[in-house]
Amino acid sequence: MKRRSFVIAVLLVALVLGAIPCASASGSDDAVDYQLYPAPEGGYVGDTMPYVTEDGTLELYYLYDTDHNGQGYHPIYRFTTDDLVGYEDDGMMLEFGLMSDPDPALGTGSVMRDREGLYHLFYTGHNDTGNGGMGKECVMHATSVDRVNWQKQPEDTFFSPEGYSRDDFRDPEVFWMEEDGCYWLLIAAREEQLGGVVAKYTSPDLKSWTFEGPLYAPQAQYMLECPDLFRMGDTWYLTYSWDCVTYYAIGESMNGPFVAPEDNILDGKGLMDGNGFVFYAAKTAQWNGNTYLCGWLGRAALSADSGIYQWAGNVLNHQLVRHDDGTLGVEAPETFKDYFTQDFDYRAENIEAADIADDDIALSAGDGEIALADLGVRAPTMMLECDVTLDPDGCAGFAFGGSEADEAWTALCLDAERNLLHYEGYELKELSDYDPMAVTRFDFSDGGVHHVTLVCENEIVVLYIDDAKALSSRIGHSTGGAHIGVFSDGCDAAFSDIAMKIPE
């Protein structure tokens, strides 16, 4: 298959010269304030550090990023939410240090409460000068009595152990392990022979730490960033990030051994190395009886939809699902159903080869043809649910376009021929000409009925399928008065029980 070589050349130039701002719906007449996928004004959300408070509030600490970082960068900021459908911006929690300190740049960490009630923020200190030969990265510690005023504890700083990279030692995750009767600290490290590992430390008091060796060493990635350990049912899971995506592995106990399933990616992966941050650096929050995977959707690298995303963007949370075989899936947070409560009436119109009956649409397109039904103007924030059936070797999905300003339609694809979900701004008529750019693997081989949920807020569009996978995208082409539709490309497809909802 040929690629859109001209577009890729433009992307490379843009990435070298500096990112072109994303054509976000935030500048459109129909834009709404972000309630589901927030970002700070004038900045972006980097790696998140979720903490559930004693009164049941979710606090999302995160690395604050901008397009104009200075010599010091990535202070830790915080959002607070009660329901994932509205956030308070609490501002900065921890400032970066001086160039003479180990932390002129802050990196990811974790927030926890000790058994005496004191709050702790363990985080990464990064200094490119190398800290006098000790290494660029280290574990640092701050404490608080109220989670608002944090006091750094520089005497608790420590660097990598012997045999490990001095420059790649980051992202401490600290928690009390009841089964072990002590505190654990997991950290992304690089061992000289094994490569990227999740290293384990233990402590009785959060002050003195004993190095226990690698907890997980798959010998597959350069680093295993932002590690997190949690249990669902009787199974333990380890999440970590590299290659612009969040992975997971499965273990029978807290000590493993951990094994990555054949397909251990739950959301999208960009196919252009280093620029596909679809869903990254996710850590978990066990909250209100559910487990949420809290990360971020990268900001777009070009003004046009491209499927290429840079580091840091908007908050993005998925609800985890544990399947009978122990593998994980994702679905939209259950609180979204309490937010999208008002029916949104639509009137489907046949554009090409569509048979419309109430909330069911059957599409039939011959080889090289497109079938399309127009569902009307897309609401700025909405949730669509439906069941989809398509040929085992076909391609169908959702289309955006048809507005007075731009009649072209672009395609968010359920691609059974390639067993992929994907979106990259290609027009319907171009789908057979170009390879996908941002994808999620999904097995369509059974030819069955698939339940799809589409959540849209401004240009952010997240597709969930069968409580198994998600594909998160920025689709500028879906905003500014654009219509939403359903299509099939060279195959038969059916969309049944279509329901759209918007907030009250």
pLDDT tens-place string over residues 451-471 = 999 999 999 999 999 999 999
Neighbours of 52 (CB within 10 A): 16
Binned at pLDDT 50, 70 and 90, residue 29 comes out as low
Interval 262-282 mean pLDDT: 88
Check if the beta carbon of residue 331 is closer than 8 Å to that of residue 464: yes
Binned at pLDDT 50, 70 and 90, residue 274 comes out as low
The yes-or-no verdict on residue 9 having pLDDT over 70 is: no
What is the C-alpha to C-alpha distance for residues 137 and 126, in angstroms, rounded to an integer? 5
Burial per residue of 425-435, b for 16 or more beta-carbon CB atoms within 10 angstroms, e otherwise: bbbbeebeebe
Higher pLDDT: 432 or 129? It is 129
In terms of Cα–Cα distance, which of 137, 131, 139, 176 is closest to 155? 139
Average pLDDT, the chain: 93
Binned at pLDDT 50, 70 and 90, residue 275 comes out as low
What is the C-alpha to C-alpha distance for residues 59 and 292, in angstroms, rounded to an integer? 13
Interval 404-431 mean pLDDT: 94
The yes-or-no verdict on residue 350 having pLDDT over 70 is: yes
What is the C-alpha to C-alpha distance for residues 171 and 158, in angstroms, rounded to an integer? 13
The pLDDT of residue 85 is: 97
Check if the beta carbon of residue 230 is closer than 8 Å to that of residue 177: no
Give the DSSP per-residue string, 274-314.
Answer: T-B-SBEEEEEEEETTEEEEEEEEEEESSSS--S-EEEEEE
Which residues are 123's β-sheet partners?
140
* Residues near 358 by beta carbon (within 8 Å), at least 6 away in sequence: none
Q: What is the 8-class DSSP label of residue 378?
A: P
> For the chain, what percent of residues have pLDDT higher than 90?
87
Structure tokens at 171: 């992202």
What values do phi and psi take at 211, rounded to 5? Answer: -80, 125
- pLDDT tens for residues 243-261? 999 999 999 999 999 999 9
> Distances in Å between the alpha carbon of 41 and those of 28, 65, 314, 470?
16, 11, 11, 27
The yes-or-no verdict on residue 1 having pLDDT over 50 is: no
The pLDDT of residue 383 is: 98
Structure tokens at 209: 């730490």
The pLDDT of residue 273 is: 62
pTM attached to this predicted model: 0.94
Check if the beta carbon of residue 180 is closer than 8 Å to that of residue 160: no
- Tell me the residue type at 418: R
Check if the beta carbon of residue 481 is closer than 8 Å to that of residue 30: yes
The pLDDT of residue 4 is: 38
Q: What is the 8-class DSSP label of residue 341?
A: E
380 cis-preceded (ω within 30 degrees of 0): no
What is the C-alpha to C-alpha distance for residues 469 and 441, in angstroms, rounded to an integer? 8
The yes-or-no verdict on residue 18 having pLDDT over 60 is: no
Region of residue 25 (left: phi > 0; alpha: psi -120 to 50; beta: else) = alpha
In terms of Cα–Cα distance, which of 41, 34, 88 is closest to 460? 34
Interval 280-303 mean pLDDT: 94
279 CA to centre of own chain: 2
What is the C-alpha to C-alpha distance for residues 240 and 281, in angstroms, rounded to an integer? 7
Neighbours of 176 (CB within 10 A): 14
What is the C-alpha to C-alpha distance for residues 37 and 339, in angstroms, rounded to an integer? 14
The yes-or-no verdict on residue 7 having pLDDT over 70 is: no
